[in-house]
Structure formats: C-alpha cells, structure tokens
Structure 1
Amino acid sequence: MSTNLVNYLQERFNQDNATAANNVTTWSGTCYLTPLLGAFLADSYLGRFWTIAIFSTVYAIGMLLLSFSAILPGLKPPCEANVCYPTSGQTATCFVALYLIALGTGGIKPCVSSFGADQFDENDDSERKKKSSFFNWFYFSINVGALVAASVLVWIQINVGWGWGFGVPAVAMIIAIISFFIGSRFYRLQVAGGSPLTRICQVIVAALRKSRVQVPEDKSLLHETTDAESNIKGSRKLEHTNKMKCLDKAAVVTESEHIKTFPNPWRLCTVTQVEELKAVVRLFPVWASLIAFATVYSQMNTMFVLQGNTLDQHIGPKFKIPSASLSLFDTLSVLFWAPVYDKMIVPFVRKFTGHERGFTQLQRIGIGLAISVVAMIVAGILEVVRLDIVRKNNYYDLETIPMSIFWQVPQYFLIGAAEVFANIGQMEFFYDEAPDAMRSLCSALSLTTNALGNYVSTVLVIIVTKITTRNGSLGWIPNNMNRGHLDYFYWLLTILSVLNFLVYILIAKRYIYKKDAGHVH
C-alpha cells in the first residue's frame, strides 16, 4: 500500500511534496502503532488465531473501501486536464479507508510472526533451530509480496488505474484470509494468558506497598508456585535475576501472607510475574535504539521517491520506470540476503563463534544499523552529485535531469541488506526475549519502533521546513527539488544514525539474555 501512496496523494488530492510525504509517514506510523491494541487482545483474551482472523477482515474491508473510492463516481475525485478537484467528503473517504487498513494491520503484524513461531517446540533442539530459520523465510515471503507491489502493482496503478491498483491487493487479501482458515486444523494454538498489563500493574503496586520490606538474601524464599508451570496460562517459569532488585519486593512473603492459600495478587506476586516485568523493562533501551533505523527506513517511501522523481526514469526510448518502483531493489536485496544469511553466513560464522545462530541477535541488529548508516551516506552523495549537475547545467526548472534513476539502486540495495540484519534480528530478539504470555505484546512493541521512526521523520521534515524556509527561503525540501538541499536532510539523518549506533553498542554490551526455568505444556 505504501509503495506508491505519496504519488497517489499528490496526483488525486493535490498535495504538495512535504504534505504528501508527511501523510504517508503518519499513516505508516499508525500502521505500526495499532499492533499494541491487537497484541493486547491476542495475549489477554482472544489468542493469536482469532485476533488474526478478526483484524484481517477489518483490513479487507478497508482495502475494498479504498478501491471503491478510486473507482466509483461520487467517491472518486473529478479530474480535468490532469488536475483533480477532491471534495472534503472524498478526501475523508480515502483516509477512513487508509486508517481502517491501519487498524486491521494492528491484529496482523504482531501476531502472524509470533503465531508462526508458536508452531515450533522450543523444548526440541531440532525445532528450535528451525524456528530461527523460520523468521528468515517469513521475512523472505513478505518481500515476495513487496516485490509484486513495487513492480506489478505500481505499474497497474500508473498505467491501468488506481482502482485496479488497489483492487488487486484487496482480492489477494480475501484469498489470504480464506487460506488462513483452511489451515486451521493443523495449527498449534497458544493459550491466552490473561491481561499482561494487569500483571505488570500488580507487580508495581505490590512492590510499592512493600517498599520498606527487606528482600531476603536467599532468593528461594521469594514467592513462586510449587507446580512445574507458572500460574500464568501457557507460560514457563522464569529464573530469578539480580537486576532491578526493587521489584523483587513484590514477591516477598510477609508473615500475614504465609497462612493464606490464595494471596491477593495486588499484594504478593510470583517470581515469574516479577521477571516478566523485568524482561520488558530490559527490552526498552534496545527498543529505543531502533527508532533511528526505522526513521532511515521510512525515507524509502518518501524522500527516495521524491529524489527519484527528479531523475531520468526511462529504460530505452519507450519504457519508463516509476520512481516508486525502485523499492523493488530493496525487496530484491532482501530476497538475495535472507537465504544467503541463512544458508551461508550463519554456518560460516558459527565455526568462529560457536553460537548456533552464528551471530547473537543483538550482534545481527548492530550490523544492520551500521549498514543503514552507509545507505544514508550513499543517498547523500548521490544528491550532492545530482545538485552539482543541476547547478553546472542550469537545470533548475527541469522536472527530470539527464541522470539515470538507476543511480539510486545502491541506496535501496543497502537498505535491503540492513533490513535482513536489523529487522529480522529485531523480530527474533523480541520474540525470544519476551515472556511466553507476552509475545504478541513484545512483537507489537518492536513494531512501534517503525511507528516512531515514521513520526520522527514527519517531525524532522516539519522542523527542517520551518527553519529552512525563514526569510522567504525555499528551504531544503521545496516542491522544486532542484532548488532545494535534500542532501542536507540526508546528512542530518546520517549524523543521528551514527550517534544512535554508538549508543546501541553500549546498550548491547550490557544486555543480559533471558533464562527460562521450566517447560511450557
């Protein structure tokens, strides 16, 4: 959906560069924020299966409405001489459809990868190794879809019509839902463990109530169930850790609680419940350090497209490649690097590290962050060269300059390589480090980095535009990109990414991985 959306908003709704780019990043950000709602419902009440089923239906309704808004008279903005005149109602219909899709995404994004990983038994060595490969191939499959979107769908949108361009994926989504239900009898279902937010609040309240209580030196005296399993449905027990000792107070058994068979959970929590909260808190610094990567990634659907609009898009005398279609090189990069990583890099690195996954998850993410810095540098250099050609040849008023759009391929290819390391590593890391009964929620938490990355991009564009357009100046990102300084915006992102990478290294070095104390049945 996002591949060519910036051009759709410009063409059909007369939005300028900055407005269209901000609308796309704000919507994309919302698509990564709604998973918090879907994940909460999946972990607490519905389970992942029914959450996927319900929200996929909402998604399909949004897709159909968007298709109708591009086809039906009354919903479709009227156009004359390549200029469209949308009414407020038509604009509203388009955005209602887009945000229905964003809501539907909320139940799909955090649950599908976790639901797939649930099918592997973590207590079986063979299946545990296959689960690691699953995340690579899962991401590979997503990018097969993205390849079709960036090539076939963008071509349909531009050459056949926006209605067909939105209608084809709407039908594909309906087929996907049917396919999902056909496999129902084969699935291994995770039990919903009750509200994780309630359990987190119970630990905080119990710890505050016992703020003056001393934590015993012998940690075996802390409260825990005597059964093999924890008191949280479908969750293994977690080993006690010595970090964040103030939270351990919630599991201290006082004299009055010794005699109670069923203690008040707002006064006494189990060690596993306390460790659940600790696990989530430990994830936050890693989570925060991934926002800068998401900001860089979001440029692919906005600034990279606007940059591509100024370049020569012709292949030969007749065929013209849309600038949005260049994201297929990001997809091709993922399709190349995902199997190479799984089949070649992991076995090779494993010989030196002895780690079953080759790199640790945090090392893998770190490599992705480093590659994203290189991607921004390459994009910035291209823009410097492009503007230099504009100045030397006085091309200021040309829509496209005689410089091939394929000079953008390296920056897209590098973003794809960064994805294979950072995004897949992040997906696997948040699944593995999440407590059993909070996996959808932690997957959603990892996705919110993309939301915030899009929002940060929106805010940066607003701030940069406001500052650089003072005193009548055109600014860095004007409608005529030949008179702007997009290269300065790329350098700003490069500096932020380098600083973020240095902070990430410090965080990763101090991180202690989770240990499970039992088996889940």
Structure 2
Amino acid sequence: MFPFSQLLKLQNMFITWVRYYVCFCKSAAFMSGLLISHKLVDLAVEGVLITYFSDAEFSKVSTLQKAAIFTSIQDGISATLAVVAAWISCYTSHPLRILIFSTASYVLALGLLFYTAREFSETNFELLNVIGIILLAVGKVGVAPLLGPFLADQLRAHGAGGRTVNPDENQVMAQKRVWWRLAWCCGVAAAFYANNIKTWKKTFMFTLLFMGGSLILLLLGIPFYHSTKIPPVDRFAIIRVVKTSLKKKHLNYPLSPEQFFSNDEGNVLHLSPRIKLLRWIDKAAIIETSSTSREQEEAGTLCTVAQVRDSKSLLKLLPLWSSFIVFGLVLSAGNTLFPVQGANMISERFLIFLLTFEAIICATISYLLKKLISKIALKTKQRQAQVLRTFIGMVMSTVCCIVAWQVEVRRLEGRDKCLNCQHKPHMSMFWLVPQFCLLGLMEGLAWHGCDEYSSSHFPERTEYHVSATSYFFVGIGGIFNIFCILANKGEFGETLGDSRLDKYYKSLTVISAVNVCYNLLLSILYIGSDQSVDNEGLQTNNTIGSDQIVDNEGLQTNNTIGSDQIVDNEGLQTNDTTDADAI
C-alpha cells in the first residue's frame, strides 16, 4: 500500500518549516530593494572601482598610482565616517532617517560617476570623482551597519502582530537570514548583469536607476515601518572619566563599595578589567565627602562605576586594535590592486566571480566559527578562542601577501615571454582564486573575530559603536596605504604592465610579518590574562575574618565585611567568584 500517512507527515513538516522561516512582511518588502541595490553597488561599483579609474580611456589623467590612491581614499573616509556615524546615532531618533539620507548619498555618488563617464573632461575628472568617492563612502557607512538591525525590527514587529507579547527571537533571526540571503542572491545576479555591460557609462546608469528605484520604494514604505530608537551611548564618557580620575589621583583607594558612585552590584564591586596600569581610573567613581554625589555629578567631577568599567575596557582593547592598522593596510591593498590584477590577467567580466567568492568565504567562515566557538568552547574560554581566531587571521594576511607576490612574479614572467599579447599573458582565473580566498579568510577570521571579542567586553547596546571603533583602526591602514603608494612611486607605472607590484607585495609581506609577531605577543598577553581570570574565578568559599581586611597598602583595619565577600590583593572587595570580564 502507498504510505499516505508518511506523505501527509512530510507535507505537514514542510508546511511547518515554511511557516517558521518564511513570512511576508510589508515593511521588509519595501526595504528589499535597498538590500538588493546595496549588494549590487558593492560588487558592480565599489569592488571594481579601481578598474574604472585605471581604464585606458582615462590613462592620460588617471594612472595606476592615482587610481589606487582614489580607491584607498574611499577606505579611509569610510572608516572615519563610521565613527562619526556611531556618534551621530547617539542623538538620532530613528535609524530610518540615516538609511534614507545614506541612500540619497548613494544616488548622488552614482550620478556623479555616471556624469564623469559620460562627459569626460581632464579639468574636472579628478575633482568630481573624489566627491563621488566621498558620497559613496557616506552611503556605505550609513546603510551597511543599519540594514540588518532595521530588517530585524520589521520582522520582530510583524511577528508580534500588534500584540504586547514578544515574538520568538530565534524565529525572527531565521526569517531575517532568509530575507537577507534572498536579497543577497538577487544583488549578485544584478551585479553579474551590470558587469556584462560593455561600457562604464551604462554600468553606472544601471546602478543609478536601480538605487534610485530603491530609494523611492524605501520612501513609499514609511507608513509601514516599525522603527526602534538606537540606544543612547555616551561616547564622551572616556574623556570625562580620564579627566576626573586625574583630578582625584591624590585620593586614597576606598575600602567599601559604598564609596563608589552608582555601584549596581550593591555590596560587591566590579571594576573590571583589573589592570594595574589602569587602576588609577577607578578613582573617577569615588564619592568625595565635601559635597553630595548629585552635586559632584552635575559639576562633572564624578563618574559612575559603569562608565569607569566601560572606559577601562576600551583602553584595554587599544593595543589589540592598533595591530589592525597593518591589517587594514593589507586589506586596502587587496581591495585596490587585486581587482586590477584580475581585470588585466583575465577579464573584468569574470572578476565578479572572484569578488563573490571572497564575500562567500568571509561570511561562511565567520558564521561557522561563531557557531562552533559558542557550542564547543566553554563560556569562560570563548574570549580566548576569539583571540586565537584573530591571530590566525593575522597570519592569513601575511600568507595573502606572499601568494599575491608570487602570482605577480608569475604574471610578469609570462608577460616577458609573451611579446605579442599586449601585457596580457594567458593565465587562468584560478591563479587569483587563492589570494581572493585568503582575503576573505583574513576578514572572517581576524576582523570579525576582533569584533566579537571586543563586543564581549561591553553591553549589547554598544555593539554598533564598538564595531565602528575597530573599523576605524582598519581604515587607518587604508590611509597608510596611500602613503605607502606615494613612497613607492617607482613601483607604479602608467598601467599595470608598466608597474612592479611584486616588489610592493614583497614590502607588504615584510610589514605584515612584523605585525604578526606583534599580534602574537598581544595574543599571549590577552589569553594569559583571561586564563588567570578563569582560574581565579574557580576559587569559592574564600572568606576572611569579620574583624580584618587588608587594603591595597597592607594596612589592617577594623572594618567588617560579610562572609560572602573577599578582598583581593589590591584592596578591592569582590565576590568570591571573580568577574569573567576581569584581567
């Protein structure tokens, strides 16, 4: 007999799966155009913009050196504006306004690029394109970090259906991934079409019309959007904390948690990370007896324990972030020079395959490692795993430079042997796959790993701002790429055929190798510090007498504390389980 019951069971399972992952949300549908067009511009314009600037049609004005500088300017501006956008978001009511403004900036940028491609003039080519690059960076910075959270807000509101009950967050994230991946595939398909258009004028016109239509669609959906305010974050807190702690450096370290302002832990004080070099910053939260705490706060001479804790965590991450300057230098060189190699060795039409492959590698390795670390590593060991992941990504950046160096050597050798090929030796596109793959690996491992490690030190509401700060250090590397290109003028000719990029990649290999050694030292310090905290947190039932405590200078006092508290070797009263955030 035919198993109708089994067939019916499979049908019900399929229907349940579809209902869980797929939903039709009006607001998400209106913003889907922006999801698609953002990926379209990322691949068809931003990813290959240097091939436009170094095009033979404009070679009299824009040499390979200028084209690389133009593209690196975009990386530096994007990183700088990312921090500015994070600060502005603290005072902006809704992210929808930022999305509309950023999309309009995209439209203006594409319009300028279309104009320069249509009406070429040596007098205004560079100026108009620099303005277009700036507007393109503004659009990217405003749209990229807010699209995902804004889409999740729409699906979350759709799942609630006007009810006060909160929807299943796992289902919301699953539906977000479906919408996001569908739009990603459509954007890649549109990028393939745009990449097959023969002229840059038509490519810019196609992307301009697509982005303009997305802006109109986004505006039409305003009545249906459910927007939540971005949580306010005091980005100037660290300046106020450092300034206040310097004024109070003469004060003795308190013995009671009650002497610290706005201590949420009650009788327990958590001022992690406990780094001796940063211990003086704790004094910014000490309540002086000369006036009330409210008066001191209004006068700007008193900070909360939370502000001190966040400031110390931010200062703790500065050494790790500093290692990403060289990482950004390598990444910027890859984003600018790798596409030129691809367009010269194969064809601009096939370059989109390499860029798509790089994006897939980056997203896949980041997603898999995030899931793997959360499931396999203990919660107390996850930070150490993220540091190790970051170091491996740094190693991949050096390997990427080595591979690009050797491929360029191979290309130059083939060029010398091929006298009649006009500097385009026959090389398969698979020669470039390893370096694009490594570019995606170093992003997914190092950059995303650093983001997750950094975000774990702060509240969830500050994740956007922490990511912007780490992006800023990567962008500094893009600015350094400009100076490196200017310092190596002899290695950049009019075109790629006249250049010696192998020497430039060799220099980057040496610089990146030194940075790997620096990052290795930092990784050992961070992992060792986190390990000591984990071991310290395993100690329980530690009590001291009710009549004695030892302060940070070894003085015995008669202050009484409860049996559920201990005093560490620096005089801090803590819970018997040490804070997992401490170092």
TM-score normalised by structure 1 residue count: 0.76
Q: Which has the larger radius of gyration?
A: 2
Write the letter of the residue equivalent to 2:139: G
Report how many aligned residue pairs link the two structures. 470
Amino acid at match of 2:262: E
Work out the CA distance in 2 between the residues paired with 1:141 and 1:496: 40
State the alpha-carbon separation in 1 of the partners of residues 225 and 315 from structure 2.
Answer: 35
Per-residue deviation, 1:277: 1.2
CA contact (8 A) 1:2 1:301 kept: no
CA apart distance, 1:390: 3.1
Match of 1:153 among 170, 182, 194: 194
Show the counterpart of 1:250: 284
Trace 1:283-432 onto structure 2 (pairs within 5 A): 283-311=317-345, 313=346, 321-322=347-348, 325-326=350-351, 328-336=353-361, 338-339=363-364, 342=367, 353-355=377-379, 360-391=385-416, 393=417, 395=419, 398-432=422-456
2:59 aligned with 1:34: no
Q: Secondary structure at the match of 1:360?
A: helix
Q: Which amino acid aligns with 1:289?
A: S
The equivalent of 1:82 in structure 2 is none
C-alpha contact 1:293 1:369 (8 A) present in aligned 2: yes
| Contact 1:27–1:98 (8 Å) recurs in 2 | yes
Q: Is the 1:17–1:479 Cα contact (8 Å) retained in structure 2? A: yes
Q: CA deviation at 1:103?
A: 2.6
What do the CA deviations read for 1:187-226 (whole angstroms, capped 9, x no partner)?
A: 5544324x421x2232122112212112224445322256
Between the aligned partners of 1:205 and 1:249, the Cα distance in structure 2 is 11
- Tell me, in whole angstroms, the C-alpha distance in 1 between the residues paired with 2:94 and 2:483: 34
CA–CA distance in structure 1, aligned partners of residues 180 and 384 of structure 2? 18
Choose from 35, 42, 59 the match for 2:105. Answer: 59
> Superposition RMSD on alpha carbons, in Å?
4.1
Residue 517 of structure 2 is matched in structure 1 by 502
Alignment identity in percent? 23
Q: Offset of 1:437 from its aligned partner?
A: 5.7
User: Residues of 1 paired with 2:293 and 2:313: CA distance?
Assistant: 30
Q: Distance in 2 between matches of 1:27 and 1:483?
A: 25
Amino acid at match of 1:207: S
Distance 1:150 1:493, change over 3 A: farther
Are positions 1:270 and 2:304 aligned together? yes
The letter of the residue matching 2:287 is V
Aligned CA distance change for structure 1 residues 330 and 447 (closer, same or farther; 3 Å): same
Picking from 178, 184, 188, the partner of 2:225 is 184
Q: What's the offset of the Cα at 1:386?
A: 1.9
Deviation at 1:247, TM superposition (A): 0.9
**Which deviations, in whole Å up to 9, do the C-alpha atoms of 1:235-282 show, x marking residues without a partner?**
xx9754422111112111111134756643511111111112112212
Residue 164 of structure 1 corresponds to which residue in structure 2?
Answer: 205
In the alignment, what sits opposite 1:108?
A: 143
Can you give the 5+ residue segments of structure 1 that lack an aligned partner in the other structure? 79-84, 229-236, 314-320, 466-474
Distance in 1, Cα, partners of 2:149 & 2:65: 36
Q: Which residue of 1 aligns with 2:40?
A: none
The structure whose RCO (Cα within 8 Å, separation 6+) is larger is 1
Q: CA deviation at 1:145?
A: 7.5
Instruction: Give the corresponding residue for 1:4.
Output: 48
Hey, what does 2:250 align to over in structure 1? 212
Instruction: Give the drift of 1:290.
Output: 1.5
Letter in 2 for 1:16: T
Question: Match for residue 31 of structure 2?
Answer: none
Distance 2:383 2:312 in 1: 27
Match of 2:514, as an amino acid?
L
TM-score with structure 2 setting the length: 0.69
Shift of 1:19: 0.7
CA displacement at 1:62 relative to structure 2: 2.2
Change (3 A) 1:326 1:299: farther
Q: Secondary structure at the match of 1:266?
A: coil
Deviation at 1:341, TM superposition (A): 5.8
Q: Which runs of 5+ in 2 are unaligned?
A: 1-44, 157-165, 534-577
**Shift of the alpha carbon at 1:167?**
1.6
Give me the whole-angstrom Cα distance separating, in 1, the residues matched to 2:299 and 2:178.
41
Equivalent pair of 2:114/2:205 in contact (CA under 8 Å): no
User: Which digits, 9 at most, give the CA deviation of each residue in 1:419-459, with x for residues without a partner?
Assistant: 22223323333433344564433222122133212111111
- In structure 1, how many angstroms separate the alpha carbons of the residues matched to 2:258 and 2:177? 39
Residue identity in the other structure for 2:249: S
Distance 1:180 1:275, change over 3 A: farther
Residue 119 of structure 2 aligns to a residue whose secondary structure is: coil
Q: Does 1:87 align with 2:128?
A: no
